[in-house]
Amino acid sequence: MSIKIAVIGAGIMGADHARIVAEDLPGASLSVVCDMDLARAQAIADIYETEAATDPETTIARGDVDAVIVASPDFTHAPLSLACIAAGKKVMCEKPLSQSSSECLGVMQAEEAAGKKHVMLGFMRRYDPAYIQMKRALTDGIIGRALMLHNWHRNGSTPATDFTGAMAITNSAPHEFDILRYLLDSEAVSITATQPARSDDKVAPVVMVLQTVDHQIVTIEVNNNAAYGYDVKAELVGETGSIATNHVSYVRLDKEALKSVGHDPDWRNRYAEAYRQQNRAFLRWVQGGDYPELASSSWDGYAAAVIAETGVKALETGIRQDITLISKPEFYA
């Protein structure tokens, strides 16, 4: 029997999730596309010959909706995840769970009260082949104990002119916070954050240094105005070797004494396989499987939110800040 999935939010990410569900997820069907802007929902619903809706809560409660993908803006994630928990439906919610750690705690409490997990988060790098191989290099002992993880997150330009360094930490960096916790299997205990000066009024890169409880060092550069394109990369340095992501490109151009590869401006192409595998894992879970092994849970969303909140404080004060999480509830062990 096909699992009927609703997609909430018909923007850039929602359109991609709708496409995956409708065309690339055997065993699932797209039952409704919901966006507060009916025209947006309708445009995508028309492509896949399904229904459009404008109210997320009513959509979640519908009898012909078995599971939900939330791809509306950040501030809607926690309330809509709570609505899914209340309706007893599983949700694949885009990152971040919330920009507020206390809102994340509210979702965790609701899940615990419901007695089982309902939420997986769209921290899809855990499903990316490059990061999977980096993780394997550690677990298989190929590079020895991890010492350092370096991360670069660069975009061509910011979508909004009023984008700030704090927004780089709360909006772009949570992917880095999640992947560092996942790869190193350790918690970050402190963070510093600083910015160089730009000569124009665009937001300058934010550079963060974190330390883990196991005394590993993590560096993160978030450069939202890198000018040359979308470019995310990482290098994991162990005691006996190092493993780095390769630039992903299908072709190389040789011309006028130059060898060049392009930077795809669209991150959905770079992570296409990760999104596909993530949504497949979600479907297997909805079909009755165990909670996906690689999935990022509400606990992981809470941890990413605490790191982001602390990172903003570090940027504002210029002083290294301690990161303090609550003890991990047994429910998420």
Ligand X SMILES: NC(=O)c1ccc[n+]([C@@H]2O[C@H](COP(=O)([O-])OP(=O)(O)OC[C@H]3O[C@@H](n4cnc5c(N)ncnc54)[C@H](O)[C@@H]3O)[C@@H](O)[C@H]2O)c1
Residues forming the site for ligand X (CB under 6 A): 8-14, 34-37, 40, 56, 71-74, 76, 94-95, 122, 124
Residue found under tokens 């206390």: 102
**What DSSP element (H or E) covers 317?**
helix 298-317
Shortest distance, CB of residue 243 to ligand X, whole angstroms?
22
Shortest distance, CB of residue 288 to ligand X, whole angstroms?
25
**CA pair distance 312, 39, nearest whole angstrom:** 36
Nearer to ligand X by Cβ, of 14 and 165: the residue is: 14
DSSP one-letter code for 126: G
**CA pair distance 323, 2, nearest whole angstrom:** 43
**CA pair distance 84, 74, nearest whole angstrom:** 16
Shortest distance, CB of residue 319 to ligand X, whole angstroms?
28
Nearer to ligand X by Cβ, of 36 and 204: the residue is: 36
Nearer to ligand X by Cβ, of 40 and 117: the residue is: 40
Q: What angle do CA 130, 131, 136 make, to 5 degrees?
A: 100
Shortest distance, CB of residue 316 to ligand X, whole angstroms?
22
At a CB cut-off of 8 Å and minimum separation 6, what does 238 contact? 137, 138, 142, 143, 144, 145, 146, 147
Quick check: bond before 96 cis, omega within 30?
Answer: yes
**CA pair distance 166, 217, nearest whole angstrom:** 21
Shortest distance, CB of residue 287 to ligand X, whole angstroms?
23
Nearer to ligand X by Cβ, of 74 and 273: the residue is: 74
Shortest distance, CB of residue 237 to ligand X, whole angstroms?
25
Q: 126-146 burial by CB neighbour count: b if 16+ within 10 A, else e?
A: bbbebbeebbebbeeeebeeb
Nearer to ligand X by Cβ, of 216 and 298: the residue is: 298
The residue with its CB nearest to ligand X is: 11
Shortest distance, CB of residue 259 to ligand X, whole angstroms?
30
Nearer to ligand X by Cβ, of 103 and 211: the residue is: 103
Nearer to ligand X by Cβ, of 37 and 322: the residue is: 37
Partners of 332 in beta bridges: none
